[in-house]
């Protein structure tokens, strides 16, 4: 079966031609009888000459499909440019939420100040009183706080 990203079968990309069904060899069919003899040799040589072009076209289709998937994925990606010195709110974990408040309880703790960038997308936070938080926090769990 042809692959969707290349438009070709794996066999045809490797060997330069499509496969033949063994039943067609044992039971002569119209397709097999038309492709036997000298015309088959000529078409086989032509297929072998065109195999590099088919491989190149399959590679181009594969790259185009990967770029399309990348654009679709990046379209949904949220960019959160946080810097040292910004004030943020921190998402509450399920364990930190008050069970007595139910679904009307707050989802964010805040406000915190970013004092250092620990690694790509992770930050060290301190409270407004100046107490350093024990763990680093990922940007996925932070939201910019507007005064």
Q: What is the pLDDT of residue 26?
A: 61
Per-residue DSSP letters for 3-71?
-TTTSS-HHHHHHSS----HHHHHTT-HHHHHTSSHHHHHHHHHHHHHHHHHHHHHHHHHHHHHHHHHH
Q: What is the pLDDT of residue 105?
A: 85
Taking residues 42-53, what's their average pLDDT? 76
Is the pLDDT at 24 greater than 60? The verdict is no
Q: What is the pLDDT of residue 89?
A: 94
What pLDDT digit, counting tens, does each position of 90-137 carry? 998 887 788 888 888 889 988 899 999 988 889 999 999 999 999 899
Taking residues 68-95, what's their average pLDDT? 85
pTM over 0.75, yes/no? no
* Total number of residues shown for the chain: 147
Q: In what order do the strands lie in the sheet with 87-91?
A: 137-138, 122-127, 108-119, 87-91, 142-144
Taking residues 74-86, what's their average pLDDT? 81
Q: What is the pLDDT of residue 97?
A: 82
């Amino acid at each position: 079966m042809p692959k969707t990203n290349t438009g070709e079968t794996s066999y045809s990309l490797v060997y330069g031609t499509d496969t033949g069904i063994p039943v067609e060899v044992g039971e002569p069919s119209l397709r097999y009888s038309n492709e036997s003899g000298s015309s088959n040799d000529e078409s086989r040589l032509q297929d072998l000459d065109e195999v590099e072009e088919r491989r190149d076209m399959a590679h181009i289709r594969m790259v185009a499909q990967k770029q399309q998937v990348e654009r679709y994925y990046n379209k949904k990606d949220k960019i959160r440019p946080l810097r040292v010195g910004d004030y943020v709110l921190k998402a509450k974990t399920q364990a930190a939420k008050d069970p007595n408040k139910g679904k009307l309880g707050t989802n964010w703790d805040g406000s915190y100040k970013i004092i250092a960038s620990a690694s790509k997308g992770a930050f060290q936070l301190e409270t407004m009183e100046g107490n350093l938080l024990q763990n680093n926090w990922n940007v996925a769990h932070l939201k910019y706080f507007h005064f």
